[in-house]
Amino acid sequence: MSRLDSFIRRLTAQRDILNHISATMLDGQEGAVLEIGLGNGRTYSHLREHFPGRRIIAFDRAIGSHASSTPEPQDLVIGEIRETAQAYLGTGAALVHADIGTGYPDKDAVTLTWLPQLAAGSLRPGGIAISGLPLEHPDLEPQPLPATVREGRYFIYRKR
């Protein structure tokens, strides 16, 4: 598959999963949304549309987002996520969305030494993690994907 096709499928999977989560899976869950990897801010923009009124805290090592999708300073955490997100452990987030895969297996392997613990540790019980990288952690139970998303393209978990 070309990288263009792969990119389109990743974005489609993100949109379908974010729609699926917001329609069915966060009912009654309090807590913030953590956007791990703000990037251009496209998924941040989608989250904001779907979760009006909920605090969304975005993380990145630098601001690269479109001006219309840049969080207010109090909701923007700049620096290496492995370090900056430690402050959010135990804060009872409702949703963690992590889009920090690179497509380079060696780099993603390093990310996976800390990302699962970080996602599990910042969620409240019953909270949801969605990720482009698989998050293997005893507290994160894999959830079915929407029918439009191929197995292994994106991942959904609920914290036990």
Residues contributing to the site for ligand SAM (CB under 6 A): 37, 39-43, 60-61, 64, 80-82, 99-100
C-alpha 140/C-alpha 76 separation (Å) is 26
Shortest distance in whole angstroms from residue 73 CB to ligand SAM: 17
For the beta carbon of residue 146, count every other beta carbon within 10 angstroms.
Answer: 15
Closer CB to ligand SAM, 11 or 23, in the complex: 11
Q: What angle do CA 59, 95, 117 make, to 5 degrees?
A: 70
Closer CB to ligand SAM, 63 or 138, in the complex: 63
Closer CB to ligand SAM, 39 or 146, in the complex: 39
Q: Torsion angle, CA of 21/101/12/51, rounded to 10 degrees?
A: 30
Shortest distance in whole angstroms from residue 55 CB to ligand SAM: 18
Residue nearest to ligand SAM (CB): 39
Closer CB to ligand SAM, 82 or 160, in the complex: 82
- The side-by-side arrangement of strands in the sheet containing 93-98 is 76-78, 56-60, 33-36, 93-98, 123-131, 155-159, 140-142
Shortest distance in whole angstroms from residue 93 CB to ligand SAM: 17
Shortest distance in whole angstroms from residue 38 CB to ligand SAM: 6
The amino acid sitting at 74 is Q
Shortest distance in whole angstroms from residue 86 CB to ligand SAM: 12
Tokens of 46: 């989608």
C-alpha 103/C-alpha 60 separation (Å) is 18
Closer CB to ligand SAM, 97 or 159, in the complex: 97
